[in-house]
Structure 1
Amino acid sequence: MREVAELPTRGDADIAAVASLLADPARCKVLLALNDGRALPASVLAEEAGISRSTASSHLSKLTEAGLLSVETHGRHRYYRLAGPEVGELLEHLVRLAPPRPVKSLREGTRAARLRSARTCYDHLAGRLGVQIMDSLLQRRVLVGGDGRYDPRRDGHDALSSPGHDVRYELTSRGRAFLTDIGVELPGGRRPLVRYCIDWTEQRHHLSGALGRAVLDRTLSAGWVKRPPRGRAVIVTDAGRAALADVFGIDWET
């Protein structure tokens, strides 16, 4: 008697399952609010999305069950964060494809300007600040392998299958010494050291990967930038402006 070949238990990827979650504006606001790498409680996320706490709880459950969010319990409180850098990368790619929302108030205009100036993209710096730091690292040959420019004619071939990874930036030995001198702790571990994102506001590359996180950690610990209680925008301090000029050759003006 012939044996019947065992059928695979998993088929093609169900993109629609994720897309249906992202089709809700409130859930998208929750995800974007968490795209600075921090963990936030449901009450704050409800305010960010402009919805009730009970509605936010339902959305958060769906996003957690789908693997887009992880949850941490501290006492009686539950804190939510993006499940990993791949979720942050997904959001950044969607932001690049999505049309901009119209600005309807001075508050929205100010917030948009701050995001374009300096913000976090999951766990690394983005916006004009992130792009200028990337440019400085390339000019100083801390990194080699690319020029920081996004060229759709060049990047379009590999970007379809490996977005943001087709230009192979590498950290030089000179670069390791430079980063150590300015207090950046070079990370180990399995996460790729040097990656980049195509910045959706600047249309250039900003540094991501484990090194991108290490640079952000240094700017925060040194007091060069600070995070407001909410939102992805970061504020460059007076000490930060001096350090940007001295360390990176960046003349930073808000």
Structure 2
Amino acid sequence: MKPSEPQITTQTQVVVVFGVGAEQGIGAAVCRRFAQAQYKLYVVGRSVKKVQRVANTINHHGGRAVAHVVDAEDSVQVQALFDQISQQQEYLAAVIHNVGGNIPSIFLQTRSDFFNQMWRSTFLSAFVVAQSSLKIFQKQQSGTLLFTGASASMRAKPFFAAFSMGKFALRNYALNLAQYYRSAQIHVAHIVIDGMVDGDRVNRALWGLGRIARLTRGTGGLNIDAIAESYWMLHQQTAELWTHELDLRPYQEKF
């Protein structure tokens, strides 16, 4: 069972969040929420400026966070990070995979290398992160592994065939892992972010047109702090009743 607060142990309790970008984004919001509960955060992403900014904000408000620049598609880099955690004898409480952007493309004009790029970002990175983290979770006989999905995890829309391919695969992979590892007290869950997110990625897209599109849809978008609270809720669930898939959308979003 996982209590409502970090387990009593001499080891430092750590949470690793992959795919952290802008401070107004899902990854950063999740980092801040777990930091509030006194976990040490590994803030992981590709941009040194962005991950350092998120880590600095957490540390400025009394939390503990370290920034790491890691390519989640690179198994050597990912394994090196988890080896560091093991060598420091830290307790891995949770890992959140939040990697992959929804880049549109016209199918008949889409090159195979673009499909490969999207597959590596949306699915391969999840495979790599899961393999490294689950090795530690198995030794501990506990841990939480969360994957960020999208509307594309459930249904493909025009211009997003490549993105849907990876997200469809990720969803099935996550649910398979959930079944396989639950007997080892490892909680695996997939979160469907079904709607536009009220964050920097959408609001700054196309020179601000993304924000206009979000507002004119009438939904207002998904609040990143509310999303982060749902990730925290999943981590707090006990083994008596685990959620393996959570569907999040604004109350006005069609589905």
With normalisation by structure 1, the TM-score equals 0.29
Please tell me whether Structure 1 or Structure 2 has the larger radius of gyration of its CA atoms: 1
Greater fraction of residues in strand: 2
